[in-house]
Amino acid sequence: MSKSYDPIIRLEHVSKVYNEYGTKVLALDDISLEISRGEFVSIVGPSGCGKSTMLHCMGLLDRPSSGTIYIEGKDTSKISGKEIALFRGYRLGFVFQNYNLIPRLTVLENVMLPGLIMGKNKKDVEHRAYTLLRETGISHRADHRGIHLSGGEQQKVAIARALINNPVIVLADEPTGALDTKNSLDIMNLLSKINREKRVTFIVVSHDNNISRYGNRKILLKDGKITEDIKKKNRRKYEHT
């Protein structure tokens, strides 16, 4: 089978148990799942259903209690220490609900930061950062500091930052959770556009079922289990009305 058709992420019987105040909580319950290269997957479900836990395990921000997660065929349970940071830095991009911009840095500096941390050439990183800021429609704010931007603008900066190291997968945890309806639609349309044009695999989790309108696949999670997994033939762009 051609490598391009191999699953970019594969979960095999993944479970996650937390110990909260002496009580065991089963956040993920025997999840098995394959995600293909270039897919845009929306994972939706109510608060506490395990969707963020699943995303964090995929992104090596947390470890499953049992089962195995493969990324590009690599058994992530065998990655440890410094190699985890390098793997995340080179292969994965992250977008969070609260943007996580550094206030004292300019927009450009925030976008450049992951590239500089990975030891890349400063001029090359700066050029790519400007390119990404243009593509996300926020280049006119390059010299501003994040605290002076609107929520939608900050999230566009966070998306540009997530792409700076050319990740093969972008994981977004409630990327519209702090935004109003118009900005939410703008951000989701932007993510969908990047997915189509760059063929970056996107995995987006949200409690908002409307998010599942985007991309080509919807996974519904409930009580740590997958209850629906629907692949769509076509996707549409959704505009604010």
Q: 68 with 74: CB under 8 angstroms?
A: no
**Residue 21: per-residue pLDDT:** 84
* Predicted TM-score of the model (pTM): 0.90
Q: Whole-angstrom Cα distance, residue 140 to residue 138?
A: 5
**Which tokens in the block code for residue 215?**
């991309």
Model confidence band, residue 210 (pLDDT cutoffs 50, 70, 90): confident
> Does the pLDDT value for residue 238 go beyond 50?
no
pLDDT tops 50 at residue 46: yes
Class of 38-63+80-231 in CATH? alpha beta
For residue 14, which of 29, 35, 34 has the smallest C-alpha distance? Answer: 29
Sequence spans of domains, the chain: 38-63+80-231
Give the per-residue pLDDT at 4.
47
Per-residue model confidence (pLDDT) at position 241: 34
For β-strands 74-75 and 92-96, DSSP reports them as unpaired
pLDDT at 93: 97
